[in-house]
Structure 1
């Protein structure tokens, strides 16, 4: 979660500053790059947690509904943060990607026929690209591959790291994932879901105030 917030600070606040010399600092572009590289660690962990969540959930429908509800709740803050628009269908937030990834791995389990069990997830993968969700087909395929290899942790991490090369530092996430012990933490982290839309709203207000001050 922290790496995602750092990534969004880079994209929402630091990238615009890279065009300025705010506070007499001329290296905002470097700060932006560092933020984005740190942020690349987030998606593989989210993808892995979707696989783990699906494997351990007692109520798939409730789990999916929670993800879709958060996707819908977050879309306006997401559009305002990244597209400066109240509603923009050209790019959807990450929780739509995670929802489609969950549907893809669920659909692979619904069929005894291996062909159909592969065909339906592929359909969801192409749908992700058509809907233009964050990470597109790549993101849903990432989740699907982690699920297919869920019982072979080493192979899962190798495949994830190879896919992660497309995001440079994302592969490093699999060092943490490899050593995950499979145990659920003691704390209830469902409250962390609300951090996504809330931190976007906070960053929107900070950007508005910051650039009102600069200009």
Structure 2
């Protein structure tokens, strides 16, 4: 998959996340926003899995995610009225689990994959395992897809949030034919690390003024 394709996927992830958060903050009764937003997280998870696969320095990659997570946390808590860790902490956790698995440090990876169940992070174990299964995309596609089906079913059974099953439609965007050149232009290297806290801050500001 080319860099342009990966950036297109990241653009779709950012856009659908923004739509989801607009719905949560301003239109909580309109489920259409939430339905569209279900496409977002799997695409971010795919991006993390790709980042683990292609980064030349995992430590720096991991630290960048953590810095963005720490900056975003107070904004996240005030905007959504939640005390749990924001999704970027979960993305960092999932990246570490996948990295250690790929480096054949299976015991440490296993500890992280099991330990995430006990962490109070947005998306929690579901998010970490989503990243883990996306780590097999392009190598064992069937394991990637059916792994997603299983964890989405488990997530629905344990939380009752069956709307998350719509996230499986995100696989459609992983096909190169969906690429739109206008959205696949080269983006600044740290665009998405800035976009997450920035969009939360903007929504928080608008909410405070209403």
Note whether the superposition's TM-score is higher than 0.5: yes
**Counterpart-to-counterpart distance in 1, 2:47 and 2:152:** 16
| 1:209 shift after superposition | 1.6
Residue number among 122, 125, 147 corresponding to 1:159 in the alignment: 147
Partner of 1:25: none
For the structure 1 residues 127 and 154, does the alpha-carbon distance in structure 2 shift closer, same or farther, using more than 3 Å as the test? closer
Gaps of 5+ in 2: 1-13, 157-163, 179-183
**Counterpart-to-counterpart distance in 1, 2:166 and 2:177:** 19
Residue number among 105, 112, 129 corresponding to 1:141 in the alignment: 129
Residue number among 10, 15, 32 corresponding to 1:2 in the alignment: 15
For CA contacts below 8 A with separation 6 or more, give which structure has more relative contact order: 2
| 1:155 shift after superposition | 4.3
Q: String of CA shifts for 1:77-134, please: whole Å, max 9, x gaps.
A: 00011117xxx3xx111110110011001111333xxxx61x3223213332322111
SS of equivalent residue, structure 2 residue 85: coil
Residue number among 90, 96, 99 corresponding to 2:92 in the alignment: 99
Partner of 2:174: 177
Whether 1:45 aligns to 2:46 is no
State the superposition RMSD in angstroms.
Answer: 2.2
- Give the alignment's TM-score, normalised by structure 1: 0.76
- Give the alignment's TM-score, normalised by structure 2: 0.78
| Structure index of larger Rg | 1
Partner of 2:120: 132
Whether 1:188 aligns to 2:187 is yes
- The structure 1 segments of at least 4 consecutive aligned residues displaced by more than 6 Å after TM superposition are none
| 1:162 shift after superposition | 4.8
**Counterpart-to-counterpart distance in 1, 2:53 and 2:147:** 19
| 1:146 shift after superposition | 1.7
Residue number among 110, 113, 129 corresponding to 1:122 in the alignment: 110
Contact 2:16–2:37 under 8 Å retained in 1: yes
Gaps of 5+ in 1: 16-28, 211-215
For the structure 1 residues 34 and 94, does the alpha-carbon distance in structure 2 shift closer, same or farther, using more than 3 Å as the test? same
Contact 2:133–2:143 under 8 Å retained in 1: no
Partner of 1:72: 70
Aligned residues: 182
